[in-house]
C-alpha cells in the first residue's frame, strides 16, 4: 500500500520513525482515561472520560468514541490511536464499553440501548447539550440504533462513521454458510453481533430505521477503505468474498449505504487502519464542527433499496466442513486464468493443506501463525491461514486435501482473470410463505446440466453447526440457471449455498460458488431482536 512520507515537527512522546511515516499523528501521549464503573460485575455499560487537554475549548465539541465488532475502548486508547490525536487537538473525550468488551458480541439492539444511556451521561458530565461521535465499523450501527430507536438523537450533533457496514458484510454471511459455519463455530465467532451483520438482517434493519425522522436529526458522515494489510494477509484474501471495492471487511457500497449520509472520504487503507489516527484523523477532524446544511447527502438510485432485486458477481470457489483424518474436495478450473489464490482457514496449526493439479503436481500451503493483529477482520480472527498461489493454473479438475483431526476448514479460492457468474435474486427480505427466485448467468458459457446439483438451504443459528434444512432444485432456462422456491415459514436468516459448473467456448468445465443470504420476517416485518 502506498504511503505518503514527509518531514514534520517531532514531539517528545513520539518516536522518530512514526513521525517520519505519519507526520500528522506526531503528538504527546494523552493521560489514561478515567473509568466510570457503572457495571462492577463486568465491562458492559462502563464508560471513560479522557483527560481534559490544556488547550481545551468550549468551542470544540465533546467526542464520544464507539468501537466495532468484538472490540473494547482500547481501539482508541492505543498506539496511533484517536485519543492521543483528539487530546493534542484540544478535544474533550469519552469512551464506552459495549457488550463485546465482556467477550461475546452484542447486536445493535443490545448495544444501542446501553449506548443511548451512556450518550446522555457523557453530555451531562461535560455540561453540554450535544456531543459528537466517531464510530468504527459496527459501532456506527450501534450508534444509529441508540439515536433512532432508543431516543438519544437529541444529544448528538454529528456522527462520523469509519467503515461502518451499513448494508452488512458478506463475511458475516459466510460465517453462517454451509461451507464456513463449521470453522466459525470452532473459532467461537458466531454470536449475536456477527448474526446481526448478515446482509439480509441489515437490509431489514434499514427498512426499520431509514424511514424514521430521527435518522435525519443527526448529521452522519461516512468513510470507506479500499486497501488491505498486504498481499496474502487476511484482509487481502477477503477481497475475494466482498463485492466491488472494500477494505478487507466492509465493501465501499456498504460503508456508503445510508441514503441520507454524507460521503466524507475514501482511502486506500484496510479496515483496521481506518481507525488509526495517522491515516484518518486529519480527514475526520474537520467534520467535527457543526455540519453545514448545504452538504449533500449520499445519492442512491431509486433501484438501490433493500427489497429490490439484488445482482452480484462471483469469481470464487468455496469449500468447507468438518475435518477428521483426511478430507478431499474437488473443483474445475478453466484455461486462461492469470492467477489462482487459495486461502484455506483452519483452527489448528497442525492441520495440513495440499492442492493437487490435474496433472498430479502438489502444492504445499504456506501457513500463517494465529494472528494477534488488531487489524485482522474479527469474524475469522484466530484462524490459521494456509496460503497457496498458482500462476496460470492448468485447466481441469483440481483436488484439495485437508488432513487433521478435531478441526474444520473453510477454503476461499479466488480466480483472477477467469470467468464470472452473475447472480440475480428477487430480493433480500421476505415474509413467510413468499415465493423466491434466484438465477445465475454465465454469459456466453454453457451450464453443465450433468453436474447440476441442488442448493443447500441452511438457517443461521448461534451455538449450532449448520445443518441442511432443505434442498432447492435448479433448472436451465434460456441459458440461465434458475431456482424457484418457497421461503421457510420460521422467521430468521437463511443461506442458500451451491456450485454452478459452466462450460467455456473451449469445452472446459469451470466451477464457481454462490451463497445467497436472505431473511424471513414475521407478519409485522420483524426479525427476532
CA angle 148, 149, 155 (to 5 degrees): 50
d(CA 274, CA 235): 13
pLDDT, residue 368, reads 75
Q: In 442-468, which positions are buried (b, 16+ CB within 10 angstroms) versus exposed (e)?
A: beebebbeeebeebbbbbbbeeeebee
pLDDT, residue 464, reads 76
- The continuous run of DSSP H or E covering 195 comes out as helix 192-196
d(CA 131, CA 153): 10
Instruction: Count Cβ atoms below 10 Å from residue 312 Cβ, excluding itself.
Output: 16
Structural contact between residues 141 and 164, judged by C-beta atoms closer than 8 angstroms: yes
310, β-bridge pairs: 425
CA 12: distance to chain centroid? 37
Instruction: Count Cβ atoms below 10 Å from residue 170 Cβ, excluding itself.
Output: 25
Burial class (CB in 10 A: 0-12, 13-18, 19+), 46: buried
Nearest Cα residue to 425 out of 379, 465, 462, 472: 472
d(CA 278, CA 1): 14
Nearest Cα residue to 130 out of 160, 154, 149: 154
d(CA 379, CA 184): 8
Backbone angles phi, psi at 214, to 5 degrees: -60, -25
Nearest Cα residue to 166 out of 249, 253, 243: 253
d(CA 83, CA 100): 20
pLDDT, residue 309, reads 58
Cell of 408: 474444520
**Under 8 Å CB-to-CB from 424, ≥6 apart: which residues?**
309, 310, 311, 438, 439, 440, 441
Q: pLDDT 10s per residue in the chain (529 long)?
A: 333 333 233 222 333 233 333 344 446 899 999 999 999 999 999 999 999 999 999 999 999 999 999 999 999 999 999 999 999 999 999 999 999 999 899 999 999 999 999 999 999 999 999 999 999 999 999 999 999 999 999 999 999 999 999 999 999 999 999 899 888 888 888 899 999 999 999 999 999 999 999 999 999 999 999 999 887 787 888 888 899 999 999 999 999 999 999 999 999 999 999 999 999 999 999 999 754 445 556 544 444 444 455 777 889 999 999 999 899 999 999 999 999 999 999 999 999 999 999 999 999 999 875 555 555 556 887 899 999 999 999 999 999 999 999 999 999 999 999 899 999 998 999 998 899 999 999 988 999 887 777 889 999 988 777 778 888 999 888 778 999 999 999 999 999 999 999 999 999 999 999 999 999 998 888 886 5
pTM score, whole prediction: 0.90
d(CA 228, CA 10): 28
| CA 384 vs CA 50, 249, 390, 513, 515: distances in Å | 37, 17, 20, 22, 23
d(CA 126, CA 105): 29
Chain length of the chain? 529
Cell of 94: 469519552
pLDDT, residue 18, reads 35
Backbone angles phi, psi at 333, to 5 degrees: -120, 145
| β-pairing verdict for 131-136 and 63-66 | parallel
319, β-bridge pairs: 411
Q: In 324-351, which positions are buried (b, 16+ CB within 10 angstroms) versus exposed (e)?
A: eeebebebbbbeebeebbbbbbbbbeeb
For the chain, the 3-state helix, strand and coil shares in percent, each to the nearest 5, are 20, 35, 45
Query: Could you report how far apart the first and last alpha carbons of the chain are, in Å?
Result: 40
Backbone angles phi, psi at 403, to 5 degrees: -115, 125
Burial class (CB in 10 A: 0-12, 13-18, 19+), 50: buried
d(CA 370, CA 488): 38
**Alpha-carbon torsion (38, 39, 44, 50), positive or negative:** positive
Please report how many Cα atoms fall inside a 13 Å half-sphere around the Cα of residue 254, on the Cβ side.
34
pLDDT, residue 374, reads 52
pLDDT, residue 140, reads 98
pLDDT, residue 373, reads 52
* SS3 (DSSP) at 347: coil
Nearest Cα residue to 250 out of 271, 227, 229, 221: 271
Amino acid at each position: 500500500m502506498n504511503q505518503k512520507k514527509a518531514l514534520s515537527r517531532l514531539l517528545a512522546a513520539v518516536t522518530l520513525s512514526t513521525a517520519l511515516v505519519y507526520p500528522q499523528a506526531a503528538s504527546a501521549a494523552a493521560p489514561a482515561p478515567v473509568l466510570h464503573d457503572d457495571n462492577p460485575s463486568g465491562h458492559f455499560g462502563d464508560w471513560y472520560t479522557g483527560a481534559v487537554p490544556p488547550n481545551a475549548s468550549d468551542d470544540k465539541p465533546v467526542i464520544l468514541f464507539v468501537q466495532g465488532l468484538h472490540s473494547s475502548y482500547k481501539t482508541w486508547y492505543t498506539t496511533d490511536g484517536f485519543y492521543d490525536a483528539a487530546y493534542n487537538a484540544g478535544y474533550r473525550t469519552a469512551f464506552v464499553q459495549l457488550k463485546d468488551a465482556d467477550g461475546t458480541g452484542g447486536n445493535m439492539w443490545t448495544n444501542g440501548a446501553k449506548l443511548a444511556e451512556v450518550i446522555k451521561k457523557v453530555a451531562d458530565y461535560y455540561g453540554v447539550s450535544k456531543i459528537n461521535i466517531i464510530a468504527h465499523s459496527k459501532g456506527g450501527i450501534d450508534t444509529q440504533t441508540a439515536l433512532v430507536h432508543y431516543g438519544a438523537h437529541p444529544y448528538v450533533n454529528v456522527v462520523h462513521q469509519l467503515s461502518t457496514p451499513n448494508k452488512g458484510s458478506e463475511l458475516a454471511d459466510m460465517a453462517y454458510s454451509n461451507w464456513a459455519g463449521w470453522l466459525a463455530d470452532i473459532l467461537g465467532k458466531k454470536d449475536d453481533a456477527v448474526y446481526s451483520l448478515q446482509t439480509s438482517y441489515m437490509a431489514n434493519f434499514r427498512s426499520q430505521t431509514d424511514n424514521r425522522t430521527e435518522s435525519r436529526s443527526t448529521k452522519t458522515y461516512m468513510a470507506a477503505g479500499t486497501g488491505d494489510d498486504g498481499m496474502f494477509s487476511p484482509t487481502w484474501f477477503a477481497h475475494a468474498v466482498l463485492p466491488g471495492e472494500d477494505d478487507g471487511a466492509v465493501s465501499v457500497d456498504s460503508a456508503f449505504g445510508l441514503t441520507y449520509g454524507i460521503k466524507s472520504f475514501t482511502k486506500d487503507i484496510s479496515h483496521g487502519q481506518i481507525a488509526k489516527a495517522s491515516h484518518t484523523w486529519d480527514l475526520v477532524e474537520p467534520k467535527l464542527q457543526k455540519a453545514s446544511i448545504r452538504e449533500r447527502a449520499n445519492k442512491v438510485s431509486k433501484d438501490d433499496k433493500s427489497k429490490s432485486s439484488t445482482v452480484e458477481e462471483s469469481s470464487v470457489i468455496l469449500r468447507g466442513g468438518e475435518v477428521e483424518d483426511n478430507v478431499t474436495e474437488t473443483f474445475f478450473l478453466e484455461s486462461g486464468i492469470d492467477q489462482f489464490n487459495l486461502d484455506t482457514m483452519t483452527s489448528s496449526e497442525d492441520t495440513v493443506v495440499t492442492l493437487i493439479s490435474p496433472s498430479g503436481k502438489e502444492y504445499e500451503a504456506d501457513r500463517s501463525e494465529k494472528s494477534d493483529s488488531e487489524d485482522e477482520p474479527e469474524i475469522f480472527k484466530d484462524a490459521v491461514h494456509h496460503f497457496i498461489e498458482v500462476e496460470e493454473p492448468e485447466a481441469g479438475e483440481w483436488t484439495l486435501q485437508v488432513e487433521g483431526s478435531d478441526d474444520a476448514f473453510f477454503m476461499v479460492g479466488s480466480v483472477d482473470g477467469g470467468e464470472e457468474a452473475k447472480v440475480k435474486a428477487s430480493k433480500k427480505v421476505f415474509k413467510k410463505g413468499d415465493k423466491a427466485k434466484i438465477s445465475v448467468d454465465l454469459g456466453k458459457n454453457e451450464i453443465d446440466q450433468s453436474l447440476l446439483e441442488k442448493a443447500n438451504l441452511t438457517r443461521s443459528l448461534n451455538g449450532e453447526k449448520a445443518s441442511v434444512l432443505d434442498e432447492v432444485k435448479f433448472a436451465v432456462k434460456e441459458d440461465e440457471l434458475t431456482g424457484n422456491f418457497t421461503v421457510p415459514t420460521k422467521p430468521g436468516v437463511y443461506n442458500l449455498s451451491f456450485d454452478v459448473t459452466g462450460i467455456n467456448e473451449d469445452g472446459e468445465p469451470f466451477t464457481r460458488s454462490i451463497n445467497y443470504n436472505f431473511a424471513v420476517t414475521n407478519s409485522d416485518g420483524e426479525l427476532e431482536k
